[in-house]
Structures are given as C-alpha cells and as structure tokens.
C-alpha cells in the first residue's frame, strides 16, 4: 500500500508539471507529440524522414531522450532544427520536469511542432504525461504482431500507431493485418500509418497528417 501511495504522489507531481508544460505549448500554439516505442523500432529514423520531408514548410523543434549518449541528437542535428538532448543516465522514461527544464533552451514562439523522442520503452512512458497533445507509438514488423497485446497501456494511451519497417514483412514473422487488429482491439480510435524509412512508404501520409494537425 505504501508503494501505491508513493507512486500516486510521484504521478500527481508529474501531472502538475505536465500541465504547466501544456499551458506553455497552448500559449504559443505549439503542437507537441510524444513518440514512444521499444528500442530499435525506428523512432529516430522516422524522425529523420519527418524532418527531411517537412523541412522548410513548418518550424519544428526536437527533444531527444536517451538512457546514455547523444548519438540520436547528433543524427537530428544535421537537419538544422532546434534540438535538446536529455540523457536520463539509466532512467527508463522522460518525465514532465525534464521537459520543463529543456524548454528553457527553446523559443517556443518560433516552433510550430515539437517532437519529443522518448526513451525506448513501452512500459513506463505510458504513465507519464509530458504535456504533449498526443502520444505516437511506433511498432516495427521485426517485433512481431502481438506487441499491442503485450503492452496494452501504451497502445490505449496513444492516438497514433506507426507500423514501421513494412519493407521487411516478407522476411519476418509478422502479419500486418493481425498487428492492426490487435492494436484496434486495444484502442479502436488509433490512427494507423504503415511506414518504411528505407522506401519512404507511408512517410508522406504521416507527415501530411502531422502538418494538418499542427495547423488546424
């Protein structure tokens, strides 16, 4: 019981800071997504393709979360967008206070979309509100088609599912229709895109959706 009480207090404090973040985003009309996945699902590659596709058409900022190293931030830096790296030093997720501190490095009035790339994990990030407009979960075909059933909380809390690495379907044990059905069983409202960062399949559609939601 004590553990439950402590966890509730931690989440309550996190939610209070998340609301401060959300107020700042709303004030400056910044559309914020929290991108989550297991390690290796392809979040950073999708982020790169997104920046490449939308470059010059809408102003984007990036917060990179990693357990160690700034390698992903270095990959993003070549797209010349405002980027802040958060290294959690072993922490399995980002929290609202880390995002709040990172915002001091941005001029939100010059950003229309802020993409937060969370730490690779499908458990802890599902419980932590960062102040984002919505969560985007990435599931790759290399992980199989039962990911939503194993991690229902994340898929339930997400608004968008990117089924990534669809170019590898012929070579892996994954039925995309089953993956879609499993995800929709958990969350019937999920918006789903099938993407490949190798062939760019689905990337234009995903980017069009992102731009539309950021400008509505």
Confidence of residue 2 (pLDDT cuts 50, 70, 90): very low
Residues 161 and 139: beta-carbon distance below 8 Å: yes
Distance CA 101, CA 21 (A): 10
At 23-67, the pLDDT tens digits run 999 999 999 999 999 999 999 999 999 999 998 899 999 999 986
Q: Where exactly are the structural domains of the chain? A: 2-215
Residues 34 and 154: beta-carbon distance below 8 Å: no
Position of tokens 């995800």?
Answer: 183
Residue 151: half-sphere exposure toward Cβ, Cα within 13 Å: 22
Distance CA 210, CA 215 (A): 9
What six digits make up the tokens of 22? 């959300």
CATH value of 2-215 in 3.40.50.300, 3.40.50.10420, 3.40.50.360, 3.40.50.970: 3.40.50.300
At 85-124, the pLDDT tens digits run 998 876 788 999 999 999 999 999 999 999 999 998 999 8
Quote the pLDDT of residue 6.
45
Quote the pLDDT of residue 143.
96
Once rounded to an integer, what is the mean pLDDT over residues 148-161?
97
DSSP-derived secondary structure letter, 70: S
Quote the pLDDT of residue 69.
60
Residue 8: half-sphere exposure toward Cβ, Cα within 13 Å: 5
Position of tokens 């399949």?
Answer: 201
Element at 161 (helix H, strand E): strand 160-164
């Amino acid at each position: 019981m004590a553990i439950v009480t402590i966890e509730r207090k931690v989440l309550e404090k996190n939610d209070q800071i998340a609301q401060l973040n959300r107020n700042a985003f709303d004030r400056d009309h910044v559309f914020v997504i929290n991108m989550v996945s297991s390690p290796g699902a392809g979040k950073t590659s999708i982020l790169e393709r997104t920046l490449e596709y939308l470059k010059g058409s809408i102003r984007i900022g990036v917060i990179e979360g990693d357990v160690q190293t700034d390698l992903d931030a270095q990959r993003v830096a070549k797209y010349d967008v405002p980027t802040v790296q958060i290294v959690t030093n072993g922490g399995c997720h980002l929290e609202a206070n880390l995002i709040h501190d990172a915002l001091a490095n941005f001029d939100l009035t010059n950003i229309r979309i802020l993409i937060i790339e969370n730490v690779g994990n499908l458990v802890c990030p599902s419980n932590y509100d960062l102040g984002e407009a919505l969560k985007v979960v990435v599931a790759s075909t290399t992980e199989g088609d039962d990911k939503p059933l194993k991690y229902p909380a994340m898929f339930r809390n997400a608004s968008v599912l990117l089924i990534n690495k669809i170019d590898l379907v012929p070579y892996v044990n994954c039925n995309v229709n089953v993956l879609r059905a499993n995800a929709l069983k958990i969350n019937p409202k999920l918006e789903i895109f099938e993407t490949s960062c190798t062939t760019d399949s689905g990337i234009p559609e995903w980017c069009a959706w992102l731009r539309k939601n950021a400008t509505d």
